[in-house]
Amino acid sequence: MPKCNVKGCASKAEYEVIFYDVYLHGSEVGVYYQRHESCPYLCQHHLTENERGAATDKLGDERLRQYRGKVDYPYTHSGGQGFCIYRPLPRAYAEPARGGPFAR
C-alpha cells in the first residue's frame, strides 16, 4: 500500500499522479502519459491542495488544462509542458481484503 509522497504526510495514498500531455506538431506526434517521477502518489487532502495551488502562465482558469501548456503545482511540479491527472487507486489496493479461508 503506497503512502502519500508529500513530505511529512503519513496518510495512505488514494491517487496515482500521472503527468500527461498531447503532442500534435512536428515529427513526434503522440501522447505522453507517465507516472509522475517525484510525487507518484497523493492522499485526498494533498490532491486538493495540489489542484487549488495550480498556476499557469496563461490567463484564466479555463486555460489551466491546455495541451502543450505549462502548469506549476505545489507538490507535483514537472518543470515541463503538460499537466497532472489523477488515477484513483483501486479500493482493493487501497484497503487490503479481509476474510476468506486464508485470513489471519
Question: Do 101 and 82 contact (CB within 8 A), yes or no?
Answer: no
Q: In angstroms, rounded to a whole number, what is the distance separating the alpha carbons of residues 33 and 29?
A: 13
| Those residues with Cβ within 8 angstroms of residue 85's Cβ, 6 or more apart along the chain or in another chain | 18, 20
Question: Do 67 and 24 contact (CB within 8 A), yes or no?
Answer: yes
pTM: 0.73
Beta bridge partners of 17: 86
Tell me: the pLDDT tens digits for 22-61? 877 777 788 888 888 889 999 999 999 998 888 766 555 5
